[in-house]
Amino acid sequence: MTLFEFALHNLRQRPARSLLTAMAVALGVAAAVALTGIASGFEASWQKANDARGTDLIVTRLASTNAMPSPFRAEPLQNQLRGYPKVRDVVGLLSEMLSVDASAPPLFVFGWTHDSYLWQHLKLVAGRWPANADEPVVVIGVVTAELLHKKVGDMLEIEGRRMPVVGVFESSAAIENGAVLMTLDQAQQTTDKPGKVNVLNVKLDPAATTTDVDAIKARIRVEMPGFIAITSGELVGQNTVVRIAKAMSNATTLIASLVGILIVFNTMLMSVNERTREIGILLALGWHRRTVIQLVCGEAALLTLAGGIAGVLVGVGLTWQLEHLDLLRGKIDANFPLSFLLMMPILAMLVGVCGGLYPAMKASRLAPSHALRQE
Amino acid sequence: MTQLNLEQGCLPGTSGSTPIFRAEGLALHFDDGRTRALDGIDIEVDEGEFVAIVGASGCGKSTLLNLIGALDTPTTGERYFRDRPYSAMKDLADFRRQHIGFVFQSFHLIPTLGVLDNVLVPTIGAQGPAAGYRERALELLERLGLADRLRHFPATLSGGERQRAAIARALINAPDLLLADEPTGSLDSANAAQVLDLLSEVRRERGLTIIMVTHDAGVSSRADRLVPLRDGKLDQSAEVAR
């Protein structure tokens, strides 16, 4: 019999307590996995959407870190930027989270300059694109179509304005699949923000180097006070929503770890107190104190490892369920890097060892002769 | 016939060679010295000897056995194993594992483990091949008549079988010194006789030294020598060597 087998055997002897402890750990891990997966997916989805559009630089308000930066008048900056070397195109984008249908949750509504490069990464699966900038029509993502049960020819009411659906598209970015798209002019009219955009998308010459990008960024900072040019990665990184989501997932992981330590501490302390005589026997039979510590910490680590593995599975499953809720469909695209999924059970094991350490030390310090007299 | 060494106040062994265990001035006090569990014990036990520590209940027999087995630390005095002082030993757990086998009155088997696993418990975490220990445990259990009880839990065994399992566990690491604390105290006379026969056989076969605590005159009659204790002190006037 090995120490591992003995530890496993001891856990099996108290099935209800072991199961409850593992379940508590699993719940904590599941919450941390789900939140981290959603936060990571949210960030990745925004990044993917920006990358898919082929934008090299995004010009936005300097202080803006919101998911949708506050709008500004596009024309003066747009004209100025078009005169910069290596700049091939400058396209305005207006986005809002709007109520599209009384029975449906709010959706992202994007307005893009008609005939700009932004439309090129989308794949039309039904209908057509808006014919011109002034046509009051919308195209919808595949998830939006499914969610709202709309098809080409149906009407959508956006902010009290009825507009026909003329096309359904598919994007590589989940956030766009769950959105409604119209021309920039129509979006400005719908939201009552004429001439305004949230960001300007700048496309550079393919030959532009990093030095060119840095030079443009520096020039914008000097020549356009109050504005900043950043890459899509930087924009996503600075995004308040992404940062809050990340902070929440980190806080959840931390709280789950602390709660896990306390739960394991309580379970193992109870177990050690009940097994005083058994531990005395082990010490009398020549067990080292460090072997007793290894046994108790090993039991704690096995418990939390089981909870950690179950928690990862539950967390991934829970997130999958959330992704398919009508309220969140198309808005979250959870992302679970393999390294993160592997790290969680290891973190859970560490939690187990931390929680089991004091009970293990207490057990190892028992005087064998005294412990043997315990009933 | 062993003579008392009255000059030194010490109970010597029988052979005159280096004793396997020796204690000098052993004392164990509690409550800042107000309670004296043991006081001024000098004793020697020779290799291969079978010594019975006898005395009334509460006279300090088990306490002395615990000190010999390094389960307790004396307040004063020194213990020697083959002339090596316990205080010089780096690791008393290693010492217990390598040299001492314990048999307790209430068996102290782990109730959730089967007989074979109970016998293997002292080998967990020890150096050495697991297969070797298992083979040795099976041999011992076969020898002690428990070959058909390998998977049985202690609660399903008779008292005699439990004590035989405990003896097998005590012998798994091939100890030099077997310490038995009232090994027949929880057994009926037939099982007690069987266990004592077994201990005698094992001692003969393996050249084992046995120190046994008992208050039963019938049991102590099996020993080579009686070491009587009274109120935590050696009762030298009553020491008997056979």
CB proximity B117 to A under 8 Å: yes
What residue of B is the nearest CA neighbor of A10?
A: B112
Give the C-alpha separation, A54 to A52, whole Å: 5
What is the reported pLDDT for B3?
33
Residue with tokens 């959508």: A156
User: Could B169 and A286 be called an inter-chain contact, meaning their C-beta atoms sit closer than 8 Å?
Assistant: no
Distance from CA of A329 to the nearest CA of B (A): 52
User: Could A285 and B112 be called an inter-chain contact, meaning their C-beta atoms sit closer than 8 Å?
Assistant: no
Q: Please report, for residues A270, A291, A294, A295, A305, the alpha-carbon distance to residue A361 in angstroms, rounded to integers and kept in the order given.
A: 14, 11, 10, 11, 21
Confidence band for B194, pLDDT divided at 50, 70 and 90: confident
CB proximity A66 to B under 8 Å: no
Would you say residue A191 has pLDDT above 70? yes
Residue with tokens 């967390």: A315
Residue with tokens 């005590």: B170
Instruction: For chain B, state the CA radius of gyration.
Output: 18
CB proximity A82 to B under 8 Å: no
Give tens-digit pLDDT for B33-56. Answer: 788 889 889 999 999 999 999 998
Give the C-alpha separation, A371 to B71, whole Å: 10
Residues B216-230 have a mean pLDDT of 89
CB proximity B71 to A under 8 Å: yes
User: Could A2 and B130 be called an inter-chain contact, meaning their C-beta atoms sit closer than 8 Å?
Assistant: yes
What is the reported pLDDT for B239?
63
User: Could B102 and A291 be called an inter-chain contact, meaning their C-beta atoms sit closer than 8 Å?
Assistant: no
Q: Please report, for residues A71, A113, A247, the alpha-carbon distance to residue A234 in angstroms, rounded to integers and kept in the order given.
A: 19, 23, 17
Q: Which of B66, B113, B122 sits opposite A286 (nearest CB)?
A: B122
Confidence band for A335, pLDDT divided at 50, 70 and 90: confident
State the first-to-last Cα distance of chain A, in angstroms, to the nearest integer: 26
Residue with tokens 């043997």: A372
Q: Which of B98, B104, B125 sits opposite A287 (nearest CB)?
A: B125
Give tens-digit pLDDT for B64-104. Answer: 999 999 999 999 999 999 999 999 998 899 999 999 999 99
What residue of A is the nearest CA neighbor of B166?
A: A285
What residue of B is the nearest CA neighbor of A286?
A: B97
| DSSP secondary structure letters along B119-170 | HHGGGTT-SS-HHHHHHHHHHHHHHTT-GGGTT--GGGS-HHHHHHHHHHHH
User: Could B94 and A288 be called an inter-chain contact, meaning their C-beta atoms sit closer than 8 Å?
Assistant: yes
Question: Which residue of B66, B72, B90, B110 to mutate against A (max A Cβ within 10 Å)?
Answer: B110
Token pair of B28 as six digits: 């164990």
What is the reported pLDDT for A69?
77
User: Could B121 and A1 be called an inter-chain contact, meaning their C-beta atoms sit closer than 8 Å?
Assistant: yes
| DSSP secondary structure letters along A98-116 | E--STTS--EEEEEE-TTS
Q: Which of A3, A367, A369 sits opposite B125 (nearest CB)?
A: A3
Sequence-ordered alpha helix ranges (H) in chain B? 61-68, 92-99, 115-120, 130-143, 159-171, 189-206, 217-220
Q: Is the distance from CB of A91 to CB of A118 less than 8 angstroms?
A: yes
CB atoms within 10 A of CB B159: 16
CB atoms within 10 A of CB A61: 16
Give the C-alpha separation, A164 to A157, whole Å: 9
What residue of A is the nearest CA neighbor of B108?
A: A281
Q: Is the distance from CB of A130 to CB of A164 less than 8 angstroms?
A: no
CB proximity A372 to B under 8 Å: yes
Instruction: For chain A, state the CA radius of gyration.
Output: 29
What is the reported pLDDT for A165?
96
User: Could B108 and A277 be called an inter-chain contact, meaning their C-beta atoms sit closer than 8 Å?
Assistant: yes
User: Could B112 and A9 be called an inter-chain contact, meaning their C-beta atoms sit closer than 8 Å?
Assistant: yes
What is the reported pLDDT for B237?
66
Give tens-digit pLDDT for A27-53. Answer: 999 999 998 888 888 777 777 777 778
Distance from CA of A48 to the nearest CA of B (A): 53
Question: Which residue of B65, B71, B115, B213 to mutate against A (max A Cβ within 10 Å)?
Answer: B71
CB proximity B122 to A under 8 Å: yes
Give the sheet arrangement for strand B84-85, strand by strand: B35-45, B21-30, B76-81, B84-85
Distance from CA of B68 to the nearest CA of A (A): 12
Residues A123-148 have a mean pLDDT of 93
Confidence band for B7, pLDDT divided at 50, 70 and 90: very low
What is the reported pLDDT for A369?
85
* Range with the poorest average pLDDT among A64-73, A168-177, B1-10: B1-10
> Which secondary structure element, helix H or strand E, spans residue A80, and what is its range?
helix A75-82
CB proximity B114 to A under 8 Å: no
Q: Is the distance from CB of B79 to CB of B26 less than 8 angstroms?
A: yes
Distance from CA of A249 to the nearest CA of B (A): 40
Long-range CB contacts for residues B189-192, cutoff 8 Å, separation at least 24? B190/B160, B191/B158, B191/B159, B191/B160, B191/B163, B192/B219
List of residues 6+ apart from A47 with CB closer than 8 A: A232, A233, A236
Give the C-alpha separation, A337 to A191, whole Å: 38
**If we measure between CA atoms, which residue out of A19, A370, A53, A350 comes closest to residue A199?**
A53
Give the C-alpha separation, B94 to A257, whole Å: 37
Q: Which of A3, A277, A288 sits opposite B93 (nearest CB)?
A: A288
Residue with tokens 């700009």: A116
CB proximity B137 to A under 8 Å: no
**A326 or A155: which carries more pLDDT confidence?**
A155
Average pLDDT, chain B: 86
Q: How many CB pairs under 8 A join A and B?
A: 68
Distance from CA of B3 to the nearest CA of A (A): 33
What residue of B is the nearest CA neighbor of A374?
A: B108
Q: Is the distance from CB of A78 to CB of A87 less than 8 angstroms?
A: no
CB proximity A294 to B under 8 Å: yes
Q: What angle do CA A57, A60, A65 make, to 5 degrees?
A: 110
Q: Which of A3, A13, A289 sits opposite B93 (nearest CB)?
A: A289
CB proximity B214 to A under 8 Å: no
Q: Which of B91, B110, B124 sits opposite A281 (nearest CB)?
A: B110
User: Could A289 and B112 be called an inter-chain contact, meaning their C-beta atoms sit closer than 8 Å?
Assistant: no
Average pLDDT, chain A: 89
Q: Domain B47-62+91-241: which CATH class?
A: alpha beta
Confidence band for B238, pLDDT divided at 50, 70 and 90: low
Token pair of A28 as six digits: 């904590």
Token pair of A20 as six digits: 């409850």
Q: Which of B91, B98, B124 sits opposite A6 (nearest CB)?
A: B124
Residue A30 region, left (φ>0) first, then alpha (ψ -120 to 50), else beta?
alpha
Q: Please report, for residues A88, A93, A114, A204, B169, the alpha-carbon distance to residue A201 in angstroms, rounded to integers and kept in the order given.
A: 11, 7, 13, 10, 79
What is the reported pLDDT for B8?
36
**If we measure between CA atoms, which residue out of B3, B22, B42, B25 comes closest to residue B234?**
B42
Q: Is the distance from CB of A131 to CB of A167 less than 8 angstroms?
A: no
**If we measure between CA atoms, which residue out of A194, A171, A173, A172 comes closest to residue A184?**
A194
